[in-house]
Structure 1
Amino acid sequence: MDYFIYLGICIVATASPGPAIFLSIKNGAKYGFSKALIGVVGNVVAMLTLASVSAVGLGAVILASPLLYTAIKVIGGLYLIYLGVKAWCSKPLSHTEHTEKLVITAPSRLKIFSESYLVGISNPKAIAFYTALFPQFINLDQPVFSQFALLAGTFAVCSFLFLATYVVLASKLRKYLERKKTLVWFNRITGGVFVGFGAALVSSNHA
């Protein structure tokens, strides 16, 4: 019963809109499914990293230090703002000067992975989530590592499935982004969303 409660929490948490989801949508729409899926893997690896940090107790240490927590929060928020400004200011390139059809050049797989990993790892709210959640579902009378592996693995699978679903749906929009005006507005909308998330993270109170 406890596991299914945890599963329900994971589903709600991973399906709810956030920076990782909007980054997956942006990548899927602009670069297609296969490239965007690399970003999904990057975000999932970041989530597993944060889960491991919380499991060994470092999450509690970070939460106990307002200065360290604030530093991570500000760095993460500024990175999201940077991604937003970068998306807003990006200029689409046409095949020629006489056509509105665009060539969208995808960054390398390593860059897509790294960008998604940094978006995931720089969110201190995830550390707070894991640190508060894991102890509620771990029985100290049973082997802890196997329980941790199950909890972290469940969250990772849920995250992967939902992000991949958003990527599939967004990749269907790629053909519409071949028009210059559409891509300009898409960049502005996604850029604005990232700036909003970043500003909210920077300005949020310690919790």
Structure 2
Amino acid sequence: MRALHATLAAIGLSALVMSSAQALTVVKLLGGIYLIWLGVTTWRSTRQGVEPTARRRWRSPWARLGGFGQGLWSNVLNPKAASVHLTLVPQFLTSSRPVAPQIATLATAHVAVVLVWLLFWTSVVAAARAATDTPRFRRGTSRLAGAVLVALGVRTATAS
């Protein structure tokens, strides 16, 4: 996902979104709507006592990608993730060399650091799963996550 934002920054699309108020508003609204959709579907899944992915009638085009697809779209539709590459990356670039290979190198380093970080937390979460693997805990977590996603979606869509 970081690599996608790095690619968008390298081809100038991130700069376009960040410099155009209309484009930024569209990305922000799409991100808010997506978060609200995730929150509502997560919340609704608890009423049936069924996991969110098990009872969907309508599936998003990226549903077959599972958690990866959700993470990808959450990141792509987050204008703040694009702004990271526009605010932090330029200070590490040298104007005398081609920009795209430099961005690719920085993106590779960023992906490596994030990969190590996420692998660490995956191990921690896997160890904690045994203590939290109950239907009651899952139902409560899904309701809380659904409410938080809806609140974040409304906040994202209405932020100025």
Q: TM-score, normalised by structure 1?
A: 0.63
Aligned residue among 87, 92, 99 for 1:137: 92
> 1:62 maps to which residue?
17
What are the equivalent positions in structure 2 for 1:171-186 lying under 5 Å apart?
171-186=126-141
Count of matched residue positions in the alignment of Structure 1 and Structure 2? 150
Aligned residue among 136, 143, 148 for 2:103: 148
- Cα 1:152–1:56 change in 2 (3 A) is same
What are the equivalent positions in structure 2 for 1:16-165 lying under 5 Å apart?
46-91=1-46, 92-93=49-50, 110-165=65-120
Give how far 1:106 is off: 6.7
Give how far 1:105 is off: 8.6
Partner amino acid, structure 1, of 2:40: V
Give how far 1:135 is off: 1.4
Q: Distance in 1 between matches of 2:52 and 2:25?
A: 36
- Cα 1:124–1:166 change in 2 (3 A) is same
What is the root-mean-square deviation of aligned Cα atoms in Å?
A: 2.3
Give how far 1:179 is off: 2.5
| Cα distance per residue 1:59-84 (max 9 Å; x no partner) | 12112211111011110111112112
Q: Distance in 1 between matches of 2:52 and 2:116?
A: 26
CA contact (8 A) 1:84 1:191 kept: yes
> 2:153 maps to which residue?
198
Q: Percent of pairs identical after alignment? A: 28
- Cα 1:193–1:165 change in 2 (3 A) is farther
Q: TM-score, normalised by structure 2?
A: 0.80
Q: Distance in 2 between matches of 1:165 and 1:77?
A: 29
CA contact (8 A) 2:6 2:85 kept: yes
Q: Distance in 2 between matches of 1:159 and 1:110?
A: 20
> Tell me, which stretches of 5 or more residues in structure 2 are unaligned?
55-62
CA contact (8 A) 1:80 1:194 kept: yes
Q: Distance in 2 between matches of 1:171 and 1:179?
A: 14
